[in-house]
Structure 1
């Protein structure tokens, strides 16, 4: 069986690379001989990292050829069908699905988050692309969104594939060299248009954590832009936080998060990696997917950077952190994470059965 995988791969985004690593591992665990070709912005690195075949995601002639020769297309994971990043993003991913359908190849959505789709043309494009497509979506919000758009395909909810990931390198040399003796609060931010109140409120809340004995450590999930977002907050802090190098590997970043007592995160996959390691988190929302994941695990959302009325009160934020230390709350959190990990393990089987059925 030969499957093509389409997603946001080869851009050095830790979250998306974690998704790809998890998908490749899960599919091969159930179908060791499956042949996988990934559409990537950096196919050479992708091939080396995951032992897959790679195609330049911008070479449409080569993409048409490989899809025509394959047995099917996996679209996902991640949030591919949305128009907040840009309309061009949506045009690209719906075009890849359309190429597969033109060649009569089955398409499977792999734990995708769907939406927001703010433009009527975006909803029309998505509705047409997903007609006669099967698969799983990442959360109930995405499933409801598909139903409201009139997409009637047989979709089910399955958590992000990164839940349940096992990383080969359980340590972070950079962190070990720091020889820290205090507990760590890891912070994952991203580049976004944010208010002065957000910056000063978060800096003050982090200072309070540092003054109470924690080491505040910023982690970059997507290279230099995330580091710059961290530096903006660090410069406003009275205490001195640590900022990890942006070039750390996926495994090292996962190990760093696993070493934490708490994660404060804006990047979705910083929250998912925290959950995967049973580390409690407090989210900072910029997109409905953040609220959805935090709600599912009953973890607090400190605020929404898009809400101009948000006060970003440091005292309220620190009260949320204290709530996470409650033993009963933590036990419930761990139980929910274990359930979601088991659910996430079902998706590769669903995908492979779907493609086998279409091949018969």
Structure 2
């Protein structure tokens, strides 16, 4: 560990996604504690999206990055990436869902090619590679097989859910199942609230049918009529409308409710929230970190897995439970057991955080 002087970290940062930026800052804080003398270089699509101290680190643009519009700049990014990998002692990739074939409008083949290209130089220069807190959001067997080929036996692979470990096991690839990197953030002190005044809601586009939207709209309207303040928490503020929570919420609800307009505003608003209605994985983790009971709308394996980890499965809104009656019933239970549920989510998050740190401490990051 003492010989680790340069670390190159590649999270899918720079797209104004709060979850990805929190993964990055959480991992950096942990790496700095583990390797206090190391210099950290961050790959990003836009360093302005970074939530930490920008003056403290060196930023390098991902390659490719809008290559059709900026071909010559991308040539520079390409050679800078090669140089950075060559001089690094440790390459950290992830976490989060960096490999996927279930995102609307995003090509798995393109995603895989870009990571193969980056890893080619790490292999060429015989660098230690750590996949940290990743998940494999890959459904098709043929894609799973293609993805498995990018890993090597001497890679340290830390996944954040059991399904990802199972996918790799099919191809005789060893992985350690831990947690999402945002669980590295320490829990907030528990100061119990007596009543529910403010309800936070975090949605994401591409996974709700018109039927689900109608039920959700009716549920929000009932809460509002019962004098609950509604705040929609934007986790993705990417300029593209298809990845912009503000646009998605206003398309459904108009200007009727408060919507956060920046990642920092979203983080600040968690201090006001009493109960969370969440689709997004990192909105759910942030709620737990802030001792906020959660009703979760899972949309894929990673969110179903998280509900199990946090033991909030009875408060999932999915399948036959996605009805106005069921949602109101679950909310009523949280309201009548509010103090107990705050204590429960606080204890669960604290235990996960401590367990995560203990397991990481036992792992030799530089072992060949």
Describe the shift of the 1:182–1:276 C-alpha distance in structure 2 as closer, same or farther (beyond 3 A).
Answer: closer
Describe the shift of the 1:151–1:256 C-alpha distance in structure 2 as closer, same or farther (beyond 3 A).
Answer: farther
TM-score (norm 1): 0.83
Aligned to 1:208: 222
Are residues 1:196 and 2:232 paired? no
Contact 1:113/1:289 (8 A) holds in 2: yes
Q: 1:340 aligns with which of 332, 347, 352?
A: 352
- Which sits farther off after the overlay, 9-18 or 51-60? 51-60
Note the C-alpha offset of 1:145.
2.3
Aligned to 1:152: 173
Give distance in 2, aligned partners of 1:62 and 1:256.
38
Are residues 1:143 and 2:165 paired? yes
- Tell me the secondary structure at the aligned position of residue 131 of structure 2: strand
Aligned to 2:259: 243
Note the C-alpha offset of 1:125.
2.8
- Tell me the secondary structure at the aligned position of residue 222 of structure 1: coil
Are residues 1:234 and 2:253 paired? yes
Q: 1:3 aligns with which of 2, 7, 11?
A: 7
Which aligned pairs between 1:302-321 and structure 2 lie closer than 5 A?
302-303=317-318, 312-321=322-331
Contact 1:204/1:314 (8 A) holds in 2: yes
- The CA deviation string for residues 99-133 of structure 1, in whole angstroms up to 9 with x for no partner, is 2122211111111112224250x223321111212
Gaps of 5+ in 1: 169-180, 305-309
Contact 1:257/1:263 (8 A) holds in 2: no
Aligned to 2:70: none
Contact 1:187/1:265 (8 A) holds in 2: yes
- The CA deviation string for residues 189-236 of structure 1, in whole angstroms up to 9 with x for no partner, is 11215322111100111111122221011111111620111113324x
Question: Cα RMSD (Å) of the superposition?
Answer: 2.6
Describe the shift of the 1:260–1:43 C-alpha distance in structure 2 as closer, same or farther (beyond 3 A).
Answer: closer
Note the C-alpha offset of 1:163.
1.9
- The CA deviation string for residues 148-198 of structure 1, in whole angstroms up to 9 with x for no partner, is 3x1422x22221221242599xxxxxxxxxxxx971101111121532211
Are residues 1:261 and 2:265 paired? no
Give distance in 1, aligned partners of 2:186 and 2:156.
27
Which aligned pairs between 1:167-178 and structure 2 lie closer than 5 A?
none
Q: 1:18 aligns with which of 4, 15, 22?
A: 22
Aligned to 2:121: 99
Aligned to 1:123: 144
User: What is the total number of aligned residue pairs between the two structures?
Assistant: 330
Are residues 1:37 and 2:41 paired? yes
- Which sits farther off after the overlay, 198-207 or 321-330? 321-330
Give distance in 2, aligned partners of 1:30 and 1:347.
13
Contact 1:81/1:90 (8 A) holds in 2: yes
Are residues 1:55 and 2:55 paired? no
Note the C-alpha offset of 1:315.
1.3
Contact 2:6/2:38 (8 A) holds in 1: yes
Note the C-alpha offset of 1:329.
4.9
Describe the shift of the 1:346–1:123 C-alpha distance in structure 2 as closer, same or farther (beyond 3 A).
Answer: same
- Tell me the secondary structure at the aligned position of residue 200 of structure 1: helix
Are residues 1:221 and 2:241 paired? no
Describe the shift of the 1:4–1:164 C-alpha distance in structure 2 as closer, same or farther (beyond 3 A).
Answer: closer
- Tell me the secondary structure at the aligned position of residue 349 of structure 2: helix
- Tell me the secondary structure at the aligned position of residue 162 of structure 1: helix
Note the C-alpha offset of 1:50.
6.9
- Tell me the secondary structure at the aligned position of residue 32 of structure 1: coil
Contact 1:26/1:345 (8 A) holds in 2: no
Describe the shift of the 1:219–1:328 C-alpha distance in structure 2 as closer, same or farther (beyond 3 A).
Answer: closer
Aligned to 1:175: none
Give distance in 1, aligned partners of 2:271 and 2:48.
29
Are residues 1:324 and 2:334 paired? yes
